């Protein structure tokens, strides 16, 4: 068998297995077998770059290029649906439809209203061409690379009978389980949580780095097929057919023939939806026949042939007992409402976030108030209102935002233009210090896995830790004998501390916990400034020339290094032997051939991967940037560079160079 034959065979088989697993939830092979075959395909594609195909199953893993999104006009506008919360209005919709169709028989298709972010997928000759967000309804962002990471979306269709060109629309969703895990991770890193899976899905879809998108495990249900030459003259049947081409179509669609059946569907799903793995916020009722849809037509904003019935968000009324305040590692203060326990959407709620001072004042909260808590899709319940009628003569104390840090008593500050309060005592406030040490040892930072938050607390209280650099001074004698620390535990702690000394520079930078310096920014900084001293000396102007670093991040970096305490910590970390500079080999190969030039990478490459080109650009002093502008120096173009990019490049007169030309350029001085 030739390599090409094996590649084709693997692609077909993996597309099929992908469909079985992600669409039908009926895996035929183990994850391990799947991964092994995928690896084989990846290797074959690497060895035979002439066969690289943008729709290969290997392209679902995402890539690391950062790029701003192109926009694209929708061929058919993406309308919204008219909404109602009342069954009476559903009846009116039914009567209106009946009247407009002049007594003709009609079927209604009832389906779940998925609560994610909508997407329009275009297919040509059975292949995914692009994926565009709703945007303003007439044009949206092209997010194809990110959408390709969603395994339930077919890149290549199977079966037969699909039109040569069509669009299919649906909802991109983050399943509850993924959402919960993501927020737990965010909480551990003290990052802002996503309020609900909808925000998480749309936020994820707009990420610049599709390998992060791939890790987020989004899902998609498709609910609307559009185009000429569709297989059937009705919506439901078209979707059933689309399922045979590989699309994930909800199994819970149902054809109804009268209003009673519609109401039965609504009442069933108002309860049953709580068991679904994804968020829904209502049901959609659509006239099934396409000719009848056309006869009913559209208003400026929505089709007259469909209506959305939205479920009431679940609410409960309970007593506010106290407001307490939490201090994060950055000093941000979060007010928390402590409530009488109340049952809401299947869980017992005792606490709700109050976000900030403005929210508290807006509600005019008093202790003892009866408040409404709502969860509607949100994981953290929020207080939406106060029951003023329940207030009696002994109105409790008005809730006033605290003025001093609850942990260290320092007066709080509120920066202009920000809603949050901060405790500015970052070097003396125990909660902030412990928070920073816990961040430092995090798996994604220094990965000191022998230690956990409780042990950090213990060591801090024993006076052994004052800042992260004290970790490297810990001895076995100091630890053994402390609560729950035996010989073996102490050895493990010391071993993982020792191992952390080889953690690369970028992760050390992330571990320092500089405000706004997350993992991605830390990586950019580490390659732009080869040593921590260089970074510490950088000016605002120098910092903002780095890709993705804006004034806000730059200022935060300057403020960090302006503090003597931070420089002391860094000095101690250097003495302990941490990696505070980039790897020697990488530096040795550096040149400044492309010094400071902005280079865009576009298309499919034969000789190296995109990531490798990106590295080469950076190694030679250039910057890999996303969007083409008049400042772009070169476009490094592979095959199939997007037509929009090509046009823009020509218009701006940006030079396009091939792989070979680029390699020659960096190899010859």
Residues marked active site are found at 113
Smallest gap from Cβ 309 to ligand IVH, in A, equals 11
By CB under 6 A, residue 303 contacts ligand IVH: yes
Do the Cβ atoms of 316 and 349 come closer than 8 Å?
yes
- Within residues 205-234, the interface with ligand IVH by CB under 6 A covers 223-224
Do the Cβ atoms of 288 and 107 come closer than 8 Å?
yes
By CB under 6 A, residue 529 contacts ligand IVH: no
Do the Cβ atoms of 187 and 214 come closer than 8 Å?
no
Cβ atoms within 10 A of the Cβ of 283, count? Answer: 24
Among 171, 219, 369, 374, binds ligand IVH (CB under 6 A): 171
Smallest gap from Cβ 311 to ligand IVH, in A, equals 12
Cβ atoms within 10 A of the Cβ of 558, count? Answer: 14
- Tell me whether residue 224 or residue 325 sits nearer to ligand IVH (CB atom): 224
Query: Quick one: which of 113, 17, 125, 118 has its CA closest to 74?
Result: 118
Two tokens at 30?
């183990």
Smallest gap from Cβ 129 to ligand IVH, in A, equals 20
Among 43, 80, 409, 591, binds ligand IVH (CB under 6 A): 80
Contact flags string 415-444 toward ligand IVH, x per CB under 6 A? ------------------------------
By CB under 6 A, residue 284 contacts ligand IVH: yes
Distance of alpha carbon 282 from alpha carbon 80, whole angstroms: 14
- Tell me whether residue 311 or residue 505 sits nearer to ligand IVH (CB atom): 311
Q: Which residues pair with 219 in a beta bridge?
A: 173
By CB under 6 A, residue 247 contacts ligand IVH: no
Query: Quick one: which of 560, 531, 555, 559 has its CA closest to 543?
Result: 555
Among 56, 97, 118, 120, binds ligand IVH (CB under 6 A): 118
- Tell me whether residue 121 or residue 628 sits nearer to ligand IVH (CB atom): 121
By CB under 6 A, residue 179 contacts ligand IVH: no
Smallest gap from Cβ 219 to ligand IVH, in A, equals 13
β-pairing, 598-602 with 632-637? parallel
Cβ neighbours of residue 364 under 8 Å, at least 6 residues apart?
A: 386, 398
- Tell me whether residue 56 or residue 118 sits nearer to ligand IVH (CB atom): 118
> How many residues belong to the site for ligand IVH (CB under 6 A)?
15
Among 108, 155, 308, 493, binds ligand IVH (CB under 6 A): 308
By CB under 6 A, residue 242 contacts ligand IVH: no
Distance of alpha carbon 197 from alpha carbon 309, whole angstroms: 20
**Exposure on the CB side of residue 229, measured as CA atoms within 13 A:** 6
- Tell me whether residue 113 or residue 189 sits nearer to ligand IVH (CB atom): 113
SS (H, E, C) 505-539: HHHHHHHCCCCCCCHHHHHHHHHHCCEHHHHHHCC
Give the nearest residue (CB) to ligand IVH: 118
Smallest gap from Cβ 177 to ligand IVH, in A, equals 20
By CB under 6 A, residue 113 contacts ligand IVH: yes
- Within residues 126-155, the interface with ligand IVH by CB under 6 A covers 134
By CB under 6 A, residue 649 contacts ligand IVH: no
- Tell me whether residue 279 or residue 601 sits nearer to ligand IVH (CB atom): 279
Distance of alpha carbon 606 from alpha carbon 448, whole angstroms: 40
Smallest gap from Cβ 251 to ligand IVH, in A, equals 13
By CB under 6 A, residue 374 contacts ligand IVH: no
Smallest gap from Cβ 348 to ligand IVH, in A, equals 30
Distance of alpha carbon 540 from alpha carbon 223, whole angstroms: 49
What b-and-e string marks burial along 131-152, b requiring 16 or more CB atoms within 10 Å of the CB?
bbbbbeeebbbbbbbbbbbbbb
Question: By three-state DSSP, how is residue 413 classified?
Answer: strand
Maximum CA extent, the chain = 90
DSSP letters, 212-265, are HHHHT--EEEEEEEESSS-SSSBHHHHHHHHHHTT----TT-EEESSHHHHHHH
β-pairing, 655-657 with 632-637? parallel
By CB under 6 A, residue 306 contacts ligand IVH: yes
Smallest gap from Cβ 286 to ligand IVH, in A, equals 7
Contact flags string 569-608 toward ligand IVH, x per CB under 6 A? ----------------------------------------
- Within residues 50-79, the interface with ligand IVH by CB under 6 A covers 79
Binding site for ligand IVH (CB under 6 A): 79-81, 111, 113-114, 118, 134, 171, 223-224, 284, 303, 306, 308
């Amino acid at each position: 068998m030739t390599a090409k034959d094996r590649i084709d065979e693997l692609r077909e088989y993996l597309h099929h297995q992908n469909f079985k697993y992600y669409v039908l939830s009926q895996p035929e092979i183990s994850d391990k077998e799947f991964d092994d075959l995928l690896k084989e395909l990846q290797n074959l594609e690497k060895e035979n770059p002439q066969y690289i195909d943008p729709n290969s199953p290997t392209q679902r893993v995402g890539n690391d290029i950062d790029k701003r999104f192109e926009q694209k006009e929708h061929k058919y506008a993406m309308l919204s649906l008219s909404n109602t919360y009342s069954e009476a209005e559903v009846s009116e919709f039914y009567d209106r439809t009946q009247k407009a169709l002049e007594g003709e028989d009609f079927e209604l298709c009832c389906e779940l209203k998925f609560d994610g972010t909508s997407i329009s997928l275009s297919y040509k000759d059975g292949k995914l061409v692009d994926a565009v967000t709703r945007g303003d309804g007439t044009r949206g962002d092209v997010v194809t690379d990110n959408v390709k990471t969603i395994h339930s979306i077919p890149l290549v269709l199977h079966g037969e009978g699909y039109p040569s060109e069509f669009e299919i629309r649906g909802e991109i969703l983050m399943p509850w389980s993924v959402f919960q895990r993501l927020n737990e991770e965010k909480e551990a890193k003290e990052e802002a949580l996503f309020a609900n899976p909808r925000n998480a899905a749309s936020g994820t879809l707009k990420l610049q780095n599709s390998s992060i998108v791939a890790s987020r495990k989004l899902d998609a249900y498709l609910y609307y097929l559009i185009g000429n030459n569709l297989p059937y003259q009705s919506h439901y049947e078209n979707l059933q057919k689309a399922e045979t081409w590989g699309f994930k179509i909800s199994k819970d669609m149902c054809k109804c023939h009268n209003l009673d059946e519609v109401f039965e569907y609504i009442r069933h799903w108002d309860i049953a939806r709580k068991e679904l793995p994804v968020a829904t916020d209502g049901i959609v009722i659509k006239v099934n026949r396409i000719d009848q849809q056309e006869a009913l037509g559209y208003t400026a904003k929505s089709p007259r042939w469909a209506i959305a019935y939205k479920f009431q968000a679940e609410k409960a009324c309970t007593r506010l007992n106290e407001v307490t305040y939490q201090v994060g590692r950055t000093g941000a203060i979060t007010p928390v409402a402590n409530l009488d326990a109340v049952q809401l959407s299947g869980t017992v709620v005792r606490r709700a976030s109050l976000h900030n001072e403005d929210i508290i004042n807006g509600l005019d909260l008093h202790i003892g108030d009866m408040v409404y808590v709502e969860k509607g899709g949100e994981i953290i319940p929020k207080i939406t209102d106060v029951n003023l009628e329940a207030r009696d003569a002994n109105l409790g104390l008005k809730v006033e935002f605290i003025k001093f840090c609850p942990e260290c008593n320092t007066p709080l500050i509120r920066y202009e233009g920000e809603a949050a309060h901060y405790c500015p005592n970052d070097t003396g406030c125990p909660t902030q210090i412990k928070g920073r040490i816990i961040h430092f040892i995090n798996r994604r930072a220094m990965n000191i896995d022998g230690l956990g938050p409780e042990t950090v607390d213990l060591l801090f209280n024993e006076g052994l830790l004052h800042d992260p650099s004290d970790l490297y001074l810990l001895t076995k004698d100091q630890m053994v004998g402390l609560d729950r620390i035996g010989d073996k535990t102490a050895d493990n702690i010391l071993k993982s501390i020792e191992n952390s000394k080889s953690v690369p520079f970028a992760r050390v930078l992330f571990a320092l916990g500089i405000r706004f310096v997350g993992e991605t920014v830390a990586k950019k900084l580490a390659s732009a400034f080869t040593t921590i001293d260089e970074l510490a000396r950088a000016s605002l102007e120098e910092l903002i020339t780095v890709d993705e670093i804006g004034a806000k991040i730059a200022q935060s970096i300057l403020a960090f290094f302006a503090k003597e305490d931070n420089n002391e910590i860094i000095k101690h970390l250097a003495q302990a032997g941490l990696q505070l500079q980039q790897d020697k080999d990488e530096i040795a190969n550096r040149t400044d051939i492309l010094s400071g030039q902005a280079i865009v990478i576009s298309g499919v490459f034969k000789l190296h991967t995109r990531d490798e080109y990106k590295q080469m650009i950076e190694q030679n002093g250039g910057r890999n940037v996303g969007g083409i502008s008049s400042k772009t120096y070169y476009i490094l173009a592979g095959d199939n560079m997007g037509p929009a990019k090509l046009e823009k490049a020509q218009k701006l007169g940006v030079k396009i160079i091939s792989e070979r030309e680029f390699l020659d350029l960096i190899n010859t001085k």
